[in-house]
Amino acid sequence: MLQISQIKENKAATIEGLKRKFFKNAEESVEQVLTLDEKRRETQVELDATLAKSNSIAKEIGAMMKAGKKEEAEQAKAETGVLKARSKELEEALKAIETELQNELVLLPNLPHVSVPAGKTPEENEVILENGAIPELGEEALPHWDLIKKYDIIDFELGNKITGAGFPVYKGKGARIQRALINFFLDEAIAAGYFEIQPPILINRDSGFGTGQLPDKDGQMYHATGDDLFLIPTAEVPITNIYRDVILQESDLPVKNVGYTPCFRREAGSWGAHVRGLNRLHQFDKVEIVQINKPEHSYTALEEMSLHVQGLLQKLELPYRVLRLCGGDMSFTAALTYDMEVWSAAQKRWLEVSSVSNFETYQANRLKLRMKSEGKNVVLHTLNGSALALPRILAAILENNQTAEGIKIPKVLVPYCGFDTI
């Protein structure tokens, strides 16, 4: 969440940043926030003055009574009664203003970092790196949705029977390679200094608000209405919320956590080859890395996280590219995002498999996540990244490694799978 002080001190830059995120009515929203803040401060000043005057008169009443000034004391009591009534009105008005101000602030997205390219669509994202040779497959090459039927490793029809579209059932070697990928990703993160967390996959509203899913993504998450809980869209949400309302010590930093969870998203539902098969699901598995760091170190940490994800793709022998997302394609909460995409040889297109983002203080302001430094509380920076999301990784592995004899498993996964071919 943006802070009032940040908006007041950098009004023009705030408006410009909101426009780069293609936030509608940027000027009007900023003016509304500043107007409400001014009204809040004026109301607070009047309330403080009214309370001070009421308290001062109340102290004089006793002296008046002792001096025999009963009539003056009664007048003073009447005046304090008027002042108390006014104080109550002002307190209620202040509470209403603060609620309205908070409601306006939470609608403002995070501001993009200076390095974020201009643009609104994915086509305007900046390709900053490509790695690996693009495999050339013969005309007989199959897309992964045909390969999984051929080798009977994932069943979409069975998932549709049990739950609905977008909830596949992994079978046999399909299930084993899922487990292999999860364990490989976790082991690599732990070796890189991340501490493993296994969080709940249901969150409350406070957690959804803390990391910015609510109110922005309200309606896009699965909602258990009876208990007012939400199925997580990513492990980022419960892991980051571990530190909600926490004051860390400087010696605690950087915080580096990793967790595996299933993830749930209602957003899937469009038609076409770009969402066919494993390309987009309602439920999928993902390993997430999360960091909490000092503001001055967070962008170094972001680069380290990007390199960690790239290292996983290299070990899986998948050709990939790294994009710096433009302002219009970034998430509501991110200040800078790198997307990693792998090449899908049978589909002949790039598939996004990871986003690594720095949120700067945006989430920490909502979470009230701070660090004690030299007697002061410093708001920290939060970062996270997919390391990695499984469905499209598996799609690329299946497609890129298909041969006449079967699908070859990347060497790094063989010890985890217990087999080298499907």
> Which residues of the chain form CATH 3.30.930.10?
122-417
Report pTM.
Answer: 0.92
In the structure, what pLDDT confidence band is assigned to residue 233 with cuts at 50, 70 and 90? very high
Mean pLDDT of the chain: 95
Q: How far is CA 99 from the centre of its chain?
A: 24
Orientation angle between helical segments 390-400 and 173-191, nearest 10 degrees? 120
Q: Give pLDDT tens digits for 361-399.
A: 999 999 999 999 888 999 999 999 999 999 999 999 999
| Domain 122-417, second-level architecture | 2-Layer Sandwich (3.30)
For residue 270, the model assigns a pLDDT of 52
The amino acid that residue 75 corresponds to is Q
Best CA proximity match to 360, nearest among 378, 322, 333 = 333
pLDDT value of residue 217? 86
DSSP designation for 120: S
List pLDDT tens digits, range 19-46: 999 999 999 999 999 999 999 999 999 9
Lowest mean pLDDT among 41-55, 94-108, 170-184, 258-272: 258-272
Pull the structure tokens for residue 286: 């993902």
pLDDT at 393: 98
Report the pLDDT value the prediction gives residue 140, as an integer from 0 to 100: 87
Does residue 414 have a pLDDT over 70?
A: yes
Using the 8-state DSSP alphabet, how is residue 253 labeled? Answer: P
Of 224, 222, 182, 189, which is closest to residue 417 (Cα–Cα)?
Answer: 182
Q: Which CATH class is domain 4-105?
A: mainly alpha
Give the sign of the dihedral formed by CA 366, CA 371, CA 375, CA 378.
negative
For 260-319, write each residue's pLDDT tens digit.
Answer: 999 999 974 455 556 899 999 999 999 999 999 999 999 999 999 999 999 999 999 999
44 three-state secondary structure: helix
Tell me if residue 377 falls in helix, strand or coil. Answer: strand
Phi-psi region of 18 (alpha: psi -120 to 50; beta: other; left: phi over 0): alpha
Continuous H helices in 272-357: 298-315
Q: 167 by DSSP, 3-state: which?
A: coil
Percent share of the chain, pLDDT over 70: 98
> What is the predicted pLDDT for the residue at 49?
97
Q: Extract the annotated binding site for ATP.
A: 265-267, 352-355
The span from the CA of 396 to the CA of 350, in Å, is 9
Lowest mean pLDDT among 64-68, 183-187, 270-274: 270-274
Q: Using alpha carbons, select from 300, 302, 344, 299 the residue that is nearest to residue 321.
A: 344
Annotated binding site: 234, 265-267, 288, 352-355, 384
Torsion of CA 192, 307, 179, 404, to 10 degrees: -140
In this prediction, residues 141-166 reach a mean pLDDT of: 97
Q: Which residues are known binding-site members for L-serine?
A: 234, 265, 288, 384
At 190-214, the pLDDT tens digits run 999 999 999 999 999 999 999 999 9
Q: Where in the chain is the domain with CATH 1.10.287.40?
A: 4-105
Identify the helix (H) or strand (E) that includes residue 288. strand 283-293
